[in-house]
Amino acid sequence: MQQILENDPDITLVTVQPEDFETLVAIRIEAMRESLERVGRFDPVRAQERFREGFSASCTHYIQVAGSKVGFVVVKPSSDGLLLDHLYIKPAVQGQGIGAAVLRQVFAQADATASTVRVGALKESDSNRFYVRHGFQLVESGEFDNYYLRPQRFEGAPMASINVRIEDDLKARAYLELERLGATSSELLRQTLQYVAEHGQLPFMMTEEDEALLATVRERLASPQRVKVSLDDL
């Protein structure tokens, strides 16, 4: 099955088959080799083993340009949206906008259901700048990898989906952050939700996963006294 990118008709996504595994591994190794050698972690056997652990042909597509396979992308569903598990472009064709075009396609898929997109990147890899440039925010830094999140966008999403997301997630986060800042009036909360509806993100970022704050989130979500505000109230 082939899918021509709406934002770049010269690029096609082609469904892979289970027997394509070795070809995909070769592309992965070719694309990652320079970054891994830079930090002394290049191990083609380990690269193959790690890819095999999470390989899913149904979630994987070749990236094809002018009939040539120049990379591949893996997008998987996750508990809170989409996981961009892999995006590799062969070094010979990097810097030509191919990765950006594929990323826009992933964003369109996420935006259709107001979903987040998560991705990880080797710390020393140039891909970190690539993801930040395209709107990802650093949320965690491990020993070897950085982990990024692209927040939800609501443009074009069904109203029911928007309301569910607001009620179950953003509303609670917005209220608690306002509470932490000492501003909990209904009008300010209403304005915050209006901003979320228009821009697809909070007007502030919770930069730390404070355990006390998370405990308060759970308590408020479980309480029948919690504030009930949705887009229908605006």
Cα 21 to Cα 19: distance, rounded to the nearest angstrom: 5
Q: What is the DSSP letter of 173?
A: H
| 146 and 163, same domain (yes or no) | no
| 132 and 166, same domain (yes or no) | no
Task: Give the least confident one: 17-26, 34-43, 130-139, 195-204.
Answer: 195-204
Cα 125 to Cα 133: distance, rounded to the nearest angstrom: 14
Cα 40 to Cα 50: distance, rounded to the nearest angstrom: 17
Q: Return the CATH number at 20.
A: 3.40.630.30
| 145 and 174, same domain (yes or no) | no
Cα 54 to Cα 25: distance, rounded to the nearest angstrom: 12
Residue corresponding to tokens 């120049």 = 70
CB 21 within 8 A of CB 111: no
| 71 and 172, same domain (yes or no) | no
pLDDT beyond 70 at 167: no
Residue ranges making up the domain that contains 204: 159-233
> Nearest to residue 89, comparing CAs of 28, 7, 5?
28
Element housing 83 (H / E): strand 81-89
pLDDT in tens, 20-51: 999 999 999 898 888 777 766 777 788 788 88
Of all residues in the chain, the percent with pLDDT exceeding 70 is 62
| 203 and 226, same domain (yes or no) | yes
pLDDT (mean) for 206-218: 46
